Amino acid sequence: MLVFKKNIYFVDWENGDELEAGLPGRDHEDPKPIAYNFIHSTLLSDRKLFNEIHQTDPAKGWEQLKIFFPHATRFGNLLHLDTLSMNLLAGFSDRGRWFSMNNYHLCYLYDSLLDRVEEYSYSETDRRLEMFPEMLAQPIDFNQFLNEYFFSTTFLVAAERFNRMTPREKSQLGKLDHAYFGAILPTPAATTIVDPTLGKVINAVEPTGAEMALECCAEDPYLK
């Protein structure tokens, strides 16, 4: 299971769980995508995309990747992105362990989810209802979703700006009150540590095999 700012493993639309009664945050006037369904369907769609790209001309496939993953293709090639995709889906589906994501995973996921939102936004009503029934065909507020579930999107910071920052300024990027959202409050020492993958993503450095792997959490991150 993947660790986000909020636990996404409460509701499973695709397995037929009852959603209308007692769904937390259900608002017909301002509907939101069910995070589990949104992320799961996006990761599954990506696997189909990579299978298709592997069967097409490499140059054409690369151009497609740059359209679907405009930020992630700055640091990764087809193999890198395919590996991130497989690792994320495997971690998402593993119900026995929790996995934390670094900035390579988050940047990839940002691009992937944004592309899914754009597909939804340009679709007709019937297709929208098929993709995310809980949205009632209304627009998805992607920024609201990011604020609710992503700890930070600092991997989008321009390299020129990031590289001019002091270590202290970098350590303060994207700081939020994680405890408020149900995650473990970082220790004082941890708040001064910058994930080393942040600078690498921003500066378009290729990930290593270890950096593409998910990190297994020693305990449930949502236990207070």
Ordered per-residue pLDDT tens for the chain, 224 residues: 999 999 998 754 444 443 333 344 455 556 788 999 999 999 999 999 999 999 999 999 999 999 999 999 999 999 999 999 999 999 999 999 999 999 999 999 999 999 999 999 999 999 999 999 998 999 999 999 999 999 999 999 999 999 999 988 888 876 644 333 344 433 333 434 568 899 999 999 999 999 999 999 988 898 86
Q: How far apart (Å, rounded) are the C-alpha atoms in residues 163 and 183?
A: 29
Q: Is there a domain that residue 150 lies in?
A: yes
- H or E segment at 107? helix 103-121
Q: How far apart (Å, rounded) are the C-alpha atoms in residues 174 and 72?
A: 19
User: Are the beta carbons of 113 and 42 closer than 8 angstroms?
Assistant: yes
Reduce the DSSP state of residue 215 to 3 states and report it.
Answer: strand
Q: Is there a domain that residue 15 lies in?
A: no
Q: Is there a domain that residue 44 lies in?
A: yes
- H or E segment at 84? helix 78-93
DSSP letter string over 23-60?
-TT--SSS----HHHHHHHHHHHHHHHHHHHHTS-HHH
What pLDDT score does 175 carry?
Answer: 61
Q: Is there a domain that residue 3 lies in?
A: no
Reduce the DSSP state of residue 131 to 3 states and report it.
Answer: helix
pTM: 0.85
Q: Is there a domain that residue 30 lies in?
A: no
**Domain count along the chain:** 1
Q: Which domain holds residue 194?
A: 35-216
The single residue listed with the structure tokens 């990747």 is: 65
Q: Is there a domain that residue 21 lies in?
A: no
Q: Is there a domain that residue 144 lies in?
A: yes
Q: What is the dihedral of CA 97, 21, 6, 112, to 10 degrees?
A: 80
